[in-house]
Structure 1
Amino acid sequence: MTRKVKVGIIGCGGIANGKHLPSLSRLEQVELVAFCDIEVEKALKASEKYGTSDAAVYKDYGELLKDSSIEVVHVCTPNASHAEITVAALEAGKHVMCEKPMAINSEEAKLMVEAAKRTGKKLTIGYQNRFRQDSQYLKKVCEQGDLGEVYYAKAHAIRRRAVPTWGVFLDEEQQGGGPLIDIGTHALDLTLWMMNNYKPKAVMGSTFHKLSQNKEAANAWGPWDPEKFTVEDSAFGFVTMENGATIVLESSWALNTLDEGEAKCSLSGTKAGADMRDGLRINGEAFGKLYTKQIALGAGGVAFYDGNVESDADMEARLWIEAVVNDTEPLVKPEQALVVTQILEAIYESSKTGKAVYF
């Protein structure tokens, strides 16, 4: 890749500074030329650290989109504005990387898919866990057919006490939900991708507000304010697919359990199984005996050398920009992310009505 790709960032908060900006700044072919945030100070700070010398700063994303030199836009705003900004950016002729979840409901997610098709511009969603070493390895195992037909799976997104207390994470109106839409979305995306199955048939779900009202609670980021905690603290789903395959999805920010694990999946197939619970393990039987293989993912093995392993966020950014430059499909397709959104929405709906949601 030789030509420079001019990128604009809309939303300069935690996820932009924690993932998108560091990874994009390490790509020689990327120029970060525009920064936008409703809190202009955040955009200014990001511009000073990551932008070109003449980078522009905006409060209104509509003004940023008027710059015809910007080829790619990253949408890193609260969930409720993902669809509106993404559709506007696509219609302004930009390729869009939108942070997960795709949208707060399937109706808005569909508008995003339609806008991408209508404009001919690329759209991808920030499911960076697909780019982890264990995920990449397990995907190859699945594609090779080593597991056979995967007919049962678990999507794990369990935190014992790690409620994000900053920003708008606890605001249902801005976020559309709590741990299910925040971290459950990663686990479900991984699971569907491994199974290569995007045809849900029915969903049952439960959401809980059992620990959210605890005052002075133990928490990784300090106690939360119960009055501002308007989203669920845990959520669980039971998904059956058209071909009969079954997925159990578990998610929590606060749950009385020692069985923690985030952005992981377990797969059971007709030939073998796999899980990410303790590193990456493959299990099966051979010659009348059971076996468990632990996959050695480290690149080191030599004293004082751990290997130069590309991080998941760096690989995500690199492959996304390569897809733009080479006019190829991004790894995370918007149609796949739409199905994730539809299932999450169905879990919330089922929890409210007490009934199964059928597709």
Structure 2
Amino acid sequence: MKNKKLRIGIIGCGGIANGKHMPSLAKLNTIEMVAFCDIIEEKAKAAAEKYGSENAKYYTDYKELLNDKSIDVVHVCTPNKSHSFITVDALEAGKHVMCEKPMAKTAADARLMVEAAKRTGKKLTIGYQNRFRADSQYLHTVCEKGDLGEIYYAKAHAIRRRAVPTWGVFLNEEEQGGGPLIDIGTHALDLTLWMMGNYKPKSVMGTAYHKLSGRKNAANAWGPWDPEKFTVEDSAFGFITMENGATIVLESSWALNSLDVREAQTTLCGTEGGADMIGGLRINGENLGRLYDTKVELNSGGVAFYDGKQESDADLEARLWIDSILNDTEVVVKPEQALVVTEILEAIYESSKTGKAVYFE
């Protein structure tokens, strides 16, 4: 497929499609966006007019889009509840699929997606774009080299002080499956597991809170939320043990009385060194009987008239995804890895409801 221009269909033309997927795909000369679908026809039409190829089509029924046999790739950018069945249908229709995070609302739904990808032989990946940031890429290389040794303790950070998304269906538990844990905690957990190279959880304890969600006229980055519509947690925390004895602490919030605000970040502690993302990427360790810490310079500047601008995480994600199809290589975010993230998140919610630990077989 190296000399072919891939034909792409977009299912769900809302915020994440307009803010990430379509702008990044539009920068590639190896693809063309030929079809757009949204339950709100005006959104699909607007996307087709802005990003579509000549004679691009738009739909309100995703199955009509999938019936177009000329489409090679589908991007699923819908609410969490519909990720699984749309993805499975797309794979069965012979399309490669990029599905937005989280993989699915439930672990059972995510497993159906993995099974469909294996059954059809089509590529499936999940939109964890934070893996493609410069600091994440550098740190992953450090971890792969073994510079940190055995990573046995880690923290996954997804803390907002007051930044509750008040648009769309973010506050709707039926549509989304949860709040900050499944929305932004999923990014932090994915980063952490990826750095550790560890996808074998043993047990999970978790708590989810509805402490601030009932407040009226609350201070918030996007204006006050409606307490009547806030049906998901405002914060959630997990304590995860892995089969090899490693421990991960996951923290997530949209609204929390904390000044320690960090999102899509990880802290790693290994036998040979550690790393965190506080104020930039920092590596620490011991050398010649002395402790050291160093901040990694990730900008490419320093040359006159060159601003050091690098490819964005979303742009790199899109390019490598398309390259994996054209060259038939492995995707960066493997569906089996995203499944483990979903299993752990689900276990945190379950543990919070029952007050008991959840054990993995």
TM-score range, shorter chain: over 0.9
State the one-letter code of the partner of 2:192: T
Aligned to 1:323: 324
Please state if 1:185 is matched with 2:189. no
Please state if 1:3 is matched with 2:4. yes
Tell me the CA shift for residue 287 of structure 1.
1.5
Please state if 1:300 is matched with 2:301. yes
Aligned to 2:342: 341
**What is the rounded CA distance, in whole Å, between the counterparts of 2:305 and 2:286 in structure 1?**
37
Tell me the CA shift for residue 329 of structure 1.
1.0
Q: RMSD of the TM alignment (CA)?
A: 0.7
Aligned to 1:211: 212
The 4+ residue runs of structure 1 with deviation greater than 4 A are none
State the one-letter code of the partner of 1:80: K
Aligned to 2:51: 50
State the one-letter code of the partner of 2:164: V
State the one-letter code of the partner of 1:46: A
Pick which of 130-139 and 281-290 moved more: 281-290
State the one-letter code of the partner of 2:3: T
SS of alignment partner, residue 153 of structure 1 = strand
Tell me the CA shift for residue 306 of structure 1.
1.8
Aligned to 1:139: 140
**What is the rounded CA distance, in whole Å, between the counterparts of 2:306 and 2:229 in structure 1?**
46
**1:285-327 CA-partner distances (Å, limit 9, x unpaired):** 1112111110000011234422241000000000000001111
**What is the rounded CA distance, in whole Å, between the counterparts of 1:247 and 1:212 in structure 2?**
26
SS of alignment partner, residue 3 of structure 1 = coil
**1:241-299 CA-partner distances (Å, limit 9, x unpaired):** 00000000000000000000000000000000000122000001111211111000001
Aligned to 1:269: 270
Please state if 1:159 is matched with 2:163. no
**1:163-189 CA-partner distances (Å, limit 9, x unpaired):** 000000000000000000000000000
Aligned to 1:310: 311
SS of alignment partner, residue 228 of structure 2 = helix
SS of alignment partner, residue 103 of structure 2 = coil
Aligned to 1:80: 81
**What is the rounded CA distance, in whole Å, between the counterparts of 2:11 and 2:63 in structure 1?**
10
Aligned to 1:71: 72
Aligned to 2:169: 168
SS of alignment partner, residue 170 of structure 2 = coil
Aligned to 2:115: 114
Aligned to 2:195: 194
Gaps of 5+ in 2: none
Percent identity among equivalent residues?
A: 76
TM-score, normalised with respect to structure 1: 0.99
Aligned to 1:356: 357
**What is the rounded CA distance, in whole Å, between the counterparts of 2:20 and 2:296 in structure 1?**
27
Tell me the CA shift for residue 94 of structure 1.
0.2
Aligned to 1:124: 125
**1:221-240 CA-partner distances (Å, limit 9, x unpaired):** 00000000000000000000
**What is the rounded CA distance, in whole Å, between the counterparts of 2:304 and 2:350 in structure 1?**
53
SS of alignment partner, residue 28 of structure 1 = coil
Q: How many residue pairs are counted as aligned between the two chains?
A: 359
Tell me the CA shift for residue 3 of structure 1.
1.8
SS of alignment partner, residue 267 of structure 1 = strand
**What is the rounded CA distance, in whole Å, between the counterparts of 2:307 and 2:168 in structure 1?**
35
Aligned to 1:236: 237
**What is the rounded CA distance, in whole Å, between the counterparts of 2:74 and 2:187 in structure 1?**
22
**What is the rounded CA distance, in whole Å, between the counterparts of 1:130 and 1:172 in structure 2?**
27
Tell me the CA shift for residue 210 of structure 1.
0.3
SS of alignment partner, residue 227 of structure 1 = coil
**What is the rounded CA distance, in whole Å, between the counterparts of 2:307 and 2:184 in structure 1?**
29
**What is the rounded CA distance, in whole Å, between the counterparts of 1:308 and 1:336 in structure 2?**
30
TM-score, normalised with respect to structure 2: 0.99
**What is the rounded CA distance, in whole Å, between the counterparts of 1:19 and 1:332 in structure 2?**
17
Aligned to 1:148: 149
Gaps of 5+ in 1: none
